[in-house]
Amino acid sequence: MLEQIRHMVRLMEASRVRVHVMPYRIGAHPLLQSMLTLMWFEDQPPVAYSEGSQVGRLHDSPTVVTRLQAIYDLALSDALSLAESLVLLRATAEDYERHD
């Protein structure tokens, strides 16, 4: 786990990924049980791909894509900022190092 956290920190520091940690205090959220990818194209309407533990699904209905975007926006507004997430991941890595 330590190496995975360090890898995420390195990717964040290099601006290769954007990680926003969802704090425990938020509780259950629809996106905590699945993965969501939102895609926009220059010449096509947006689509979304959601994946759970048993199934993945491509969504092309504008209504569904809009709803999934709203769910994502809500999750992002509840999550820690990029800077806060980086601080938390660094502290978590340090905790793992102390107990290794």
Q: At what angle do helices 82-98 and 2-13 cross, to 10 degrees?
A: 150
Per-residue pLDDT for 64 more than 80?
Answer: yes
| Average pLDDT value for the chain | 94
Q: What is the pLDDT of residue 31?
A: 82
- The structural domains of the chain, with segments of one domain joined by +, span 1-21+80-100, 30-79
- Does the global pTM surpass 0.85? no
Cα separation, 61 vs 100, whole angstroms: 49
Cα separation, 18 vs 10, whole angstroms: 11
Read off φ and ψ for residue 28, nearest 5 degrees. -70, 140
Confidence band of 65 (pLDDT split at 50, 70, 90): very high
Cα separation, 99 vs 27, whole angstroms: 27
Instruction: Tell which wins on pLDDT, 73 or 31.
Output: 73
pLDDT in tens, 4-50: 999 999 999 999 999 999 988 888 887 888 899 999 999 999 999 99
